[in-house]
Structure 1
Amino acid sequence: MHSSYDVIVVGAGHAGCEAANAAATMGSKVLLITMNMQTIAQMSCNPAMGGVAKGQIVREVDALGGLSGIISDKSMIQFRMLNRSKGPAMWSPRCQSDRNVFAWEWRKALEGNSRIDFWQDTVNEILVKDGKVSGVKTSLGVEFLAGAVVLTNGTFLNGRMFIGEKVFGGGRTAERSATGLTEQLVTLGFESGRMKTGTPPRVDGRSLNYAAMEEQFGDEQPGKFSYMDTPVLTNQRSCWITYTNQEVHEELKTGFDKSPMFTGRIKGLGPRYCPSVEDKINRFADKDRHQIFVEPEGWDTVEVYVNGFSTSLPETVQYNALRKIPGFENVRMFRPGYAVEYDFFPPTQLKPTLETQLVKNLFFAGQINGTTGYEEAACQGLMAGINAHRNVSEEDEFTIKRSEGYIGVLIDDLITKGTEEPYRMFTSRAEYRTLLRQDNADLRLTEKGYKIGLAAEERYQKMVAKKEDVSLLTDAIRAAKVKPEEINNWLAAKSSAPLREKSNLYTLLKRPEIELKDIKELLEILPDMPGVGEEIIEQTVIEIKYEDYLSREKLNAEKLDKWENLSINPSFDYDRLKALSFEGKEKLKRLRPATIGQASRISGVSPSDVSILLVYLGR
């Protein structure tokens, strides 16, 4: 056991695991402190990774050299590419995971990193010297020194759990809360708040009547998250869909007078986009049913996750309501759903690196920043771990722009706008989402990860080979000419106008009635096309078909970059600028934006305030 480390990571959830692995892989000696070694990388809520916009984040984490994509591929039991009926910018990979395998694969990966040590304990004090973090102190009174500390406390800071009128301390079922740390951080000048989240009951899959539900299969040709050679699913487990009804709603209403949410016992802000079932039937009284996803928790367990039925009503009310859902008439409940309320720290107190503004080399990542979701936590942990290592190594900060990744959008949103509810990512939050697709995350980010020492040589060479193959196929398509007799029968089958003379294949592929799946088929039947895999074909035809849109977005991003890269001194005296609006001045003084671009996105900073700043800076 060492007493001194380069980086200490507090918490071993999705954020903590990525932070510890990133810092250690880049060369830091890391101590990972967790309250329970048996719950490393625990999937506290639903057993799944990815989804709309979240899947893009997992692929970006993988592209940079993180592990979430690799672990997901090793533990998935079903894979689906969501939004295939929409444009490629909306395609989002999602997998159903084996909860136990996911946690075990993460633990194996972390234990396989020789630069990571572990300590089971609770951290209740940050050691600070001369405005800089120097280590931590645990509940056992043990002090560990470090050059940087990353806090990824999840829902455990002063966590309180609610089931009906029952209230007990804890951050997750059967696990105690962490106390003392919030109080100390507040004395250091940090602002804190309260948020809440919830989880549904878990039930015995043997007691369900699946014949009364709709079966939801995985993709016929399942994909994966990682760009590395991870296993591809050959067998999948189905999920199922059923619905609530008026009987279910009436049964739930019998417990409203004991609901901690409706009686005011829960003060924290809950997730608007993932509300509890009682909140749904209260807010959407005109809806006579709500969708329920029945999700298996793994290959070798009968435990089932009832997605869409998050609740903190009394357990008897939960059980009685469940029995009125089609397929659940004879359900046996393993454990009831519950709500958890916990402390968070508004992320406007952070720098773009996720380092706190008040204490040097202290980083926050995950739900402590007011976010929700495994994927949002993982990418924050990755970025915090990278920058904790670089700070200790006296290297430049590492950030990702909004035009470079969803990770950049998420962090910029947090530090400039803050959040008044648990923040989750959506494709609509990204103004450059046509550029930020799940298929090209490696082309966007792997070189960045490689240059900082996180992405391995093998990963980098795979990206280079992919880029060369895409270029080779693009050149072949540009050069190809197709004759009417070669293509007209095929075009007729696609309800596309026939050719009257030899035509350029590149132009032909842009026809709106020719879909991406059609282009793959076409390239396979045409002669003289390079022999490349389906991934290369898909990447190439997306770039060709959406060339005009992509060019426009790149141009817009380049225009805004001149603002984005115009830095503002952290100690800039905004009081000197008398023409600034009162609200704009107060927000700028409090949030201390690093660039003009960041300042322009702060709520309350007007375009005229930005113009005044630009004039003062000589622009």
Structure 2
Amino acid sequence: MFPEYDIIVVGAGHAGCEAAASAANLGSKVLLITMNMQTIAQMSCNPAMGGIAKGQIVREIDAMGGYSGIVTDKSMIQFRMLNRSKGPAMWSPRAQNDRMLFAATWREMLENTLNVDFYQDMVNGLLVKDGRACGVITGLGHEIKAKSVVLTNGTFLNGVIHIGEKRFGGGRVAEKAATGITEQLISLGFESDRLKTGTPPRIDGRSLDYSKMEEQKGDDEIVGFSFLDIERIKPQQQRSCWITYTSDVVHDILKTGFEKSPMFQGRIQGRGPRYCPSIEDKINRFADKERHQLFVEPEGWNTVEIYVNGFSTSLPEDVQYQALKMVPGFENCRMFRPGYAIEYDYFPPTQLKFSLETKLVQNLFFAGQINGTTGYEEAACQGLMAGINAHQKASELDAVILKRSEAYIGVLIDDLINKGTDEPYRMFTSRAEFRTLLRQDNADLRLTEMSYRLGLASQERMEKVISKRESVEKVKDILNKVTLEPEETNDYLESVYSSPLISKQKAAQLLLRPMVNIIELINAVPKLADALSNFNKETLEQVEIQTKYDVYIEKEKELVAKMSQLENLIIPDNFNYDKLVSLSTEARQKFTKIKPRTLGQASRISGVNPSDVQILMVYMGR
């Protein structure tokens, strides 16, 4: 019934979809197995993509030829560029999406991807021979062979849903949990643990009074996520979100349910996400706060369903409902379904190689929440890399590994493997030490050429990058040649509270001033407007960023060069750390367990001191 595949991807969430797409586009024959063909690329929680650091990840996925950015652009109902008041390294795109259109677009793109087959069934076991994964066993008893297997099980591995004192199995509400895989992996020597996540109640938008809330409109300009020319909505078409707040009254009602809370009564053992806590966790941990912000987010164009962002909870339904009715604008609310918590198995990611292949079983890859992460974007980028490397392994090619200095994706994977995680891992800009280099605006300049050489990014993408790079250099050259007179610029400079010129100056030099904006400067100086009329806004903004931040960018590049010296010092696979008696006990244990590839990786392992790294360097003759 089934041919032998190059790669089997288990699970069709964000990680599984990206894994299937990347492997197939590289030329592998892929089978995507999901328990429900109707929930491919489901937005299980909030109907949004991007945000702080997450938006950078989506742009990196797109730059490499992944699908998440395209799907997001095609299904968005609102767009905002967050952190515009800060420096460009902090700018982060975020979109509200039509939940159903998002999933439908993903499925359509996968169905139009050569080399991707689909099958609806549960996978409850792996075929493992001589320490290698060589296929899967399904619930219907099929043994399907493959050269590599990618597990992207999300929250389904022995998933348990909690609503107050009610407890039942499930990977999402109304969807059954996946069983068998955890037990088999443990028998093979893997360590597993439990994590928790949650989701808020969904509300009938027709029952809300928006006049009591603050409107949050989208941006006047929609930049989007994909570097391709995707047809996006017009700014005036965007749907608004709304902001309201909890109160002491709401908190008091919620507290009445604490005695039935699965979290406070110990029925949930897994640790939840630190940076996206449940509402009951918020009012318990931040007792001094009189109110908490709630974002009222529409679920799509053609639905009245509302997502109450900030009100994640597993309290009893009646407590959720009574508390919500005390929120301004929610006095007459009708609940479509209650919030709930879900507890599931994950495998500490220190058990992985940088390729996301497991250390214990060859040709077996993990991606997404199975590795302890939270969020669609974190899952999707792991899926992209797992799909790439599963193809590479099946084709007997070298693994593709992104460095911390190359991408937020590299930061995420490096963090997971070196530090592990005992709580759902979420990406932040603060986790990246080279965030001036890793901006959302230059993801294509950083990654597309590498992906194109690999065979994933298209010719169209590569041509756009070449054109962008050439255009940026042409604009820089013009700015370095054009001389501006005081009488041409001083009216504009005074309008932005910048010192007037007392003598002529090159345009590039003037652009270094913090208050000077390249678009405004061009509009104010006819000479520049004529010289730069053929260049688009994206090119001009890229020139401004590179010009203003050139000193900082060069400093980060110097730091990258210094750190790369350690990255180039390879530690042999069979290195025996027990013979280095000078190492601290913790370092020896961590090195033996994680088996760092380089001295650079060894230096980033949690619990390892600089002296431990120096001992390694001395022993290796450095």
The reply on whether 1:203 has 2:203 as its aligned counterpart is yes
The reply on whether 1:533 has 2:536 as its aligned counterpart is yes
Deviation at 1:521, TM superposition (A): 4.3
Residue 165 of structure 1 corresponds to: 165
Residue 290 of structure 2 corresponds to: 288
Where in structure 1 are there 5+ consecutive unaligned residues? none
Q: 601-610 or 166-175: which moved more?
A: 601-610
Distance 1:523 1:203 in 2: 52
The reply on whether 1:585 has 2:602 as its aligned counterpart is no
Distance 1:571 1:579 in 2: 19
Within a 5 Å distance, the mapping from 1:345-424 to structure 2 comes to: 345-424=347-426
Deviation at 1:461, TM superposition (A): 0.6
Does the Cα contact within 8 Å between 2:34 and 2:120 map onto a contact in 1? yes
Deviations 1:387-426 (A, max 9, x none): 0000010111101000000000000000000011100000
Distance 1:116 1:513 in 2: 51
Residue 135 of structure 1 corresponds to: 135
Residue 58 of structure 1 corresponds to: 58
Within a 5 Å distance, the mapping from 1:443-592 to structure 2 comes to: 443-515=445-517, 518-519=520-521, 521=523, 526=528, 527-529=530-532, 531-592=534-595
* Distance 1:456-1:524 versus aligned 2 partners, 3 A rule: farther
Residue 83 of structure 1 corresponds to: 83
The reply on whether 1:279 has 2:281 as its aligned counterpart is yes
Paired AA for residue 328 in structure 2: P
Distance 1:483 1:427 in 2: 40
The partner residue of 2:245 within 238, 243, 261 is: 243
Distance 1:85 1:274 in 2: 24
Distance 2:221 2:135 in 1: 49
Deviations 1:560-614 (A, max 9, x none): 0111122212221112222211111110000011111110000121111111111
Does the Cα contact within 8 Å between 1:82 and 1:94 map onto a contact in 2? yes
Distance 1:224 1:276 in 2: 30
User: Counterpart of 1:549 in 2: which secondary structure?
Assistant: helix
Distance 1:387 1:495 in 2: 53
Distance 1:71 1:334 in 2: 27
Give me the TM-score of the superposition, normalised by structure 1.
0.99
Does the Cα contact within 8 Å between 1:472 and 1:530 map onto a contact in 2? no
Distance 2:238 2:533 in 1: 33
Distance 1:578 1:255 in 2: 54
Distance 1:523 1:571 in 2: 65
Paired AA for residue 212 in structure 1: K
Does the Cα contact within 8 Å between 2:519 and 2:540 map onto a contact in 1? no
Deviations 1:432-482 (A, max 9, x none): 001100000000000011011110111111111001101111111112211
User: Counterpart of 2:133 in 1: which secondary structure?
Assistant: strand
Paired AA for residue 288 in structure 1: E
Distance 2:233 2:469 in 1: 26
Residue 303 of structure 2 corresponds to: 301
Distance 1:385 1:431 in 2: 27
Does the Cα contact within 8 Å between 1:310 and 1:338 map onto a contact in 2? yes
Deviation at 1:508, TM superposition (A): 1.2
Paired AA for residue 113 in structure 1: T
Distance 2:525 2:602 in 1: 47
Distance 2:158 2:525 in 1: 59
Deviation at 1:518, TM superposition (A): 4.0
* Distance 1:396-1:326 versus aligned 2 partners, 3 A rule: same
Distance 2:518 2:561 in 1: 28
Paired AA for residue 535 in structure 1: E
Does the Cα contact within 8 Å between 1:473 and 1:530 map onto a contact in 2? no
Does the Cα contact within 8 Å between 1:132 and 1:359 map onto a contact in 2? yes
Distance 1:520 1:54 in 2: 32
Does the Cα contact within 8 Å between 2:492 and 2:521 map onto a contact in 1? no
* Distance 1:520-1:592 versus aligned 2 partners, 3 A rule: farther
User: Counterpart of 2:162 in 1: which secondary structure?
Assistant: strand
Deviation at 1:511, TM superposition (A): 1.4
Runs of 4+ in 1 over 3 A off after TM superposition: 515-525
Residue 31 of structure 2 corresponds to: 31
Deviations 1:277-304 (A, max 9, x none): 0000010000000000000000000000
Residue 339 of structure 2 corresponds to: 337
Residue 115 of structure 2 corresponds to: 115
Distance 2:505 2:595 in 1: 56
Does the Cα contact within 8 Å between 1:354 and 1:384 map onto a contact in 2? yes
Paired AA for residue 599 in structure 1: A
User: Counterpart of 1:117 in 2: which secondary structure?
Assistant: strand
Percent identity over the alignment?
A: 66
* Distance 1:525-1:192 versus aligned 2 partners, 3 A rule: farther
Distance 1:363 1:467 in 2: 35
Deviations 1:242-289 (A, max 9, x none): 000111101101100000000000000100100000000010000000
Residue 613 of structure 2 corresponds to: 610
Distance 2:258 2:518 in 1: 50
User: Counterpart of 1:586 in 2: which secondary structure?
Assistant: helix
Deviation at 1:520, TM superposition (A): 5.9
Deviation at 1:529, TM superposition (A): 2.8
Q: 105-114 or 64-73: which moved more?
A: 105-114
Deviation at 1:222, TM superposition (A): 1.5
User: Counterpart of 1:440 in 2: which secondary structure?
Assistant: helix
Distance 2:517 2:119 in 1: 54
Does the Cα contact within 8 Å between 2:161 and 2:169 map onto a contact in 1? yes
Deviation at 1:306, TM superposition (A): 0.4
